[in-house]
Amino acid sequence: MEKLVSLCQRRGFIFPSSHIYGGLSGCWDYGPVGIELKRNVKEAWWRSIVQQRDDMVGVDTSILMNSKVWEASGHVTNFSDPLVECKDCHLRWRADDLKENKCPSCGGALTEERMFNTMFKTFIGPVEEDASVVYLRPETAQGMFVNFQNVVNTSRKRLPFGIAQQGKAFRNEITTGNFIFRSREFELMEFEYFVKPDTVEKWFDYWVEERFKWYLKLGIKKENLKLHQHPKERLAHYAHSCTDINYLFPHGWSELEGIVNRTDFDLKQHAAASGKSMEYFDDETKEHYVPYVVEPSVGVDRAILAFLCDAYEEEPDKDEIRVVFHFHPDLAPIKMAVLPLSRKENLAAFAKDVYATLRPCFTTQYDDTQSIGRRYRRQDELGTPYCVTIDFQSLEDNMATIRERDTMNQIRVPVPALKNTILAKLSGEDLFVLPEGGKIWKQESGG
């Protein structure tokens, strides 16, 4: 984990928040490369959950909501973790994280457990009094529940269908840590899948399998994933059952995503508290009922940590160690780098032309600093799948070399064929399917 954190800072993936002031615990900033990775993770999720399905729609609801939402949903009374305090050093700990009944820092005795509500409070408007208290949402789900009828009435969706959302959430965690695994400000990707009550088990199993496959499709190794069913006594207040997809993080197996059967709990609570009906009319069976809900929920940042850990590799390369992120091409922050072998004017002009034709199609970097070997290493550390190298020969034969991140193989391709060749490779075609006029390049030293 230490190596990963330092690489992430060095290469512009992730920085501690407010770092010039010593940071702020549980808060992180994404840098120029990290934001591309984050957008790609969110895009991949949105495409697979919303855009490629007929039974799903998206929303983007506000972070601040009427406080009655959180009273009805049970969060004001129940969204709490057990807190203990060391009687000697006064550090505070989350009781269910502790292996022994003593302070992990100084070994001192601990106080009795008390429940600590982890919702952040603030005030709306210019008056700081109880009547103006609002909460920063700890989950995005409630924005979808309170809009259930709006969506049914405007989208013409019939059950089963889902509402999906991505957005910031805030939890005043008792302890944070393990880099971006547990933060106080983070981003969620979650959806509420509304079903006929007697079909909920079937849909629950369906979504556990679908979500598990999503990680595999994006390159996570199967041996690093497993399912974990929550015992009844450790369920959230709204949950009937819950299965986690766990990942083998550097600190051990931990929850990556939770899939919960929330039953009709939330809709019924809101119906009772608001006086508005949350019933659905089933035109097939002519029945009125409140749907049941299956909710898969994952933290964007936690998913990013899993993708970073899984892609990170240190490989022996001649006398050195090559550090590389083997990201899935859909997730790679930068898809391609154009690297002129020298800064000589005629070569630079040619390389910039190539760059200008490729940049509209791919997230591309232009890099003409340092030796070519060091530039390849730098791109490996960013996880860039392909480097396009322009050399003096290119000026004569109008060809360029594509160097592949994972195998370090090189092929020589006509410049007009670069775009289609890389498009084909990014969508998974064999590296050695060469365009007409291309050839496998004999690799020379420093490749």
Work out how close the CB of 81 gets to ligand ATP at its nearest, in angstroms, rounded to a whole number. 7
Report how far residue 244's alpha carbon sits from residue 254's, in angstroms, rounded to the nearest whole number.
9
Residue at 52: amino acid letter: Q
Binding mask 193-232 for ligand ATP (x = CB under 6 A): ----------------------------------------
Contact 240, 262 (CB under 8 A): yes
**What tokens appear for 232 in the block?**
């009844």
192 counts as binding ligand ATP under rule CB under 6 A: no
Backbone torsions φ then ψ of 108, nearest 5 degrees:
-70, 165
Burial of 247 (0-12, 13-18, 19+ CB in 10 A): buried
188 counts as binding ligand ATP under rule CB under 6 A: yes
Q: Out of 257, 264, 310, 381, name the contact with ligand ATP by CB under 6 A.
A: 257
Alpha helices (runs of H) in 218-371, residue ranges in sequence order: 265-274, 300-311, 345-358
Residues that bind ligand ATP (rule: CB under 6 A) add up to a total of 15
Work out how close the CB of 139 gets to ligand ATP at its nearest, in angstroms, rounded to a whole number. 6
Q: Of the two residues 301 and 310, which places its CB atom closer to ligand ATP in the complex?
A: 301
Chain positions 314 to 353 lying near ligand ATP, rule: CB under 6 A, are: none
Q: Which stretch binds ligand ATP (CB under 6 A): 180-188, 334-342, 388-396, 398-406?
A: 180-188
Contact 260, 236 (CB under 8 A): yes
Q: Which stretch binds ligand ATP (CB under 6 A): 127-135, 250-258, 270-278, 368-376?
A: 250-258
255 counts as binding ligand ATP under rule CB under 6 A: yes
Report cis status (omega within 30 of 0) of the bond before 160: yes
Chain positions 286 to 305 lying near ligand ATP, rule: CB under 6 A, are: 297-299, 301-302
Work out how close the CB of 352 gets to ligand ATP at its nearest, in angstroms, rounded to a whole number. 41
DSSP string, 141-201: HHHHHTTHHHHHHHH---SSEEEEEEEEEE---SS-BTTTTB-SEEEEEEEEEEE-GGGHH
Q: Of the two residues 148 and 186, which places its CB atom closer to ligand ATP in the complex?
A: 186
186 counts as binding ligand ATP under rule CB under 6 A: yes
Token pair 């709490």 is found at 80
Residue at 110: amino acid letter: L
Work out how close the CB of 253 gets to ligand ATP at its nearest, in angstroms, rounded to a whole number. 13
Q: Of the two residues 166 and 379, which places its CB atom closer to ligand ATP in the complex?
A: 166
Closest residue to ligand ATP, judged by C-beta, is 299
Q: Of the two residues 278 and 298, which places its CB atom closer to ligand ATP in the complex?
A: 298
Burial of 17 (0-12, 13-18, 19+ CB in 10 A): middle
144 counts as binding ligand ATP under rule CB under 6 A: no
Residue at 115: amino acid letter: M
Q: Of the two residues 35 and 323, which places its CB atom closer to ligand ATP in the complex?
A: 35
Beta-bridge partner residues of 188: 167, 299
270 counts as binding ligand ATP under rule CB under 6 A: no
Q: Out of 171, 328, 335, 412, name the contact with ligand ATP by CB under 6 A.
A: 171
182 counts as binding ligand ATP under rule CB under 6 A: yes
Alpha carbons within 13 A on the beta-carbon side of 440: 8
Q: Of the two residues 298 and 388, which places its CB atom closer to ligand ATP in the complex?
A: 298
Torsion-angle region of 428 (φ positive above 0: left; ψ -120 to 50: alpha; else: beta): left
Q: Which positions touch ligand ATP (CB under 6 A)?
A: 171, 173, 182-183, 186, 188, 255-258, 297-299, 301-302
